[in-house]
Amino acid sequence: MSTKDIREISLLELESFLLEIKEPKFRAKQIWQWLWEKKARDFDSMQNIPKKLRDQLKQAFTFRVTQIDQAQYSKDGTIKVIFKLWDDNRVEGVLIPTKKRTTACISSQVGCSLSCTFCATGYLPRTRNLKAFEIFDQVVLINQLSEEHCQKSLDNIVYMGMGEPLLNYKEVIQSVNHITSPTGLGMSPSRITISTAGITKMIKKLADDGLRTNLALSLHAATNAKRSEIMPINDTNPLEDLSEAMNYWFDKTNIRPTLEYTVINGVNDTKEAEKALAVFARSFPSKINLIEYNPISTANFQPTGRLDEFAMALEKQRLIVNVRRSRGKDIDAACGQLALKTA
């Protein structure tokens, strides 16, 4: 049997395969609908596909299904999921319900290669990139949890789980296409946010490719010296280059990017840090999310005691500021805590 998942091939490749085995071309769209709109996880569920053709598909392809290995439930309603992939690797995803919306936080890589010092995932090695269908499966499974526990479908998807999405560009973009396509999940791109630690070249490519998703930059410090100290990626993608890339993004898309800034005691919460952040945020149209720091066992950082004061200082300078309170801290599901830690 081929080790290729049928969801790794394009519609054109599927049509070519069917022609080779002398099956009518129209079957390709039927099969495609089962894969992406009806979210099939095996060939036998494709009820309007003849059994002979289903058997031929089984011989040529496989389904590498993603499964929920473990789910942990926070007292605030957040659900953290450890997904088991077909090769026994594992990644995490989170369902974050609020009164207004439900959000899925999903992963793009097994582990991460960027080694941000305040993030638990940064202490894990990057094992491999996820395939588009593995990212898609996370969304499908978290949506099922949302429907079961919140009685509603997902409102938003954020690529903010394990890994750097723009270092797995092709598969991430392909997953977005399946999630937003009318022949897929049909979700609006405006309800999807791709987060990046700041890969300038790929930010520009994302703008050029015209996906129309939202973009979040994990900033966390607004001077090169401090940012390089806590985020080694800044050595090769400094703030000057990031500012240029974010201006390029806005000029191309007219979508205001978000600056994610985790406020850490004694690291990036000083009045000087406020001023530096204000200067950087004004270098292109932006909005700021200030994030409550969530301690991890692998780093000796602590939350700031002046989160609200920090926010007020920025608001006085007429910047758009939101304070994001942590959810799921009791199950290590909050921002920066994903490290495959089980209950």
Last residue within a domain, chosen from 15, 43, 60: 60
CA–CA separation, 194 vs 235, rounded Å?
22
Predicted pLDDT at 24: 95
Phi, psi of 299 (to 5 degrees): -145, 150
CB 133 within 8 Å of CB 5: yes
* 340 domain residue, yes or no: no
Do 48 and 93 lie in one domain? The reply is no
Predicted pLDDT at 341: 54
* 113 domain residue, yes or no: yes
- From the candidates 23, 92, 171, 260, which is the catalytic residue? 92
Average pLDDT, consecutive stretches of 10 residues, N- to C-terminus, the chain (343 residues): 83 97 96 97 96 96 96 90 95 93 96 85 86 98 96 96 96 98 96 97 97 96 96 96 98 97 94 96 96 82 91 94 74 52 50
Do 227 and 242 lie in one domain? The reply is yes
82: nearest Cα among 112, 107, 63: 107
Exposed, middle or buried by CB within 10 Å (0-12, 13-18, 19+), for 266?
Answer: exposed
Do 20 and 105 lie in one domain? The reply is no
Q: Where are the alpha helices (DSSP H) in the chain?
A: 11-20, 26-32, 51-60, 132-150, 169-180, 200-209, 224-230, 239-253, 271-281, 307-315
Predicted pLDDT at 232: 94
Predicted pLDDT at 120: 78
DSSP assignment string, 259-315: EEEEEBTTTS-SHHHHHHHHHHHTTSS-EEEEEE----TTS---B-S-HHHHHHHHH
Active site (annotated) includes residue 335 = yes
Do 138 and 262 lie in one domain? The reply is yes
CB 159 within 8 Å of CB 177: no
Do 294 and 153 lie in one domain? The reply is yes
Predicted pLDDT at 336: 47
* 343 domain residue, yes or no: no
Q: Count how many domains the chain has.
A: 2
Predicted pLDDT at 300: 80
Do 54 and 85 lie in one domain? The reply is no
Active site (annotated) includes residue 92 = yes
Predicted pLDDT at 90: 94
Report strand pairing: 321-324 vs 287-292. parallel
- From the candidates 112, 116, 119, 335, which is the catalytic residue? 335
The count of residues in the chain is 343
Q: Which domain holds residue 209?
A: 67-331
- How many CA atoms does the CB half-sphere of 325 hold within 13 Å? 5
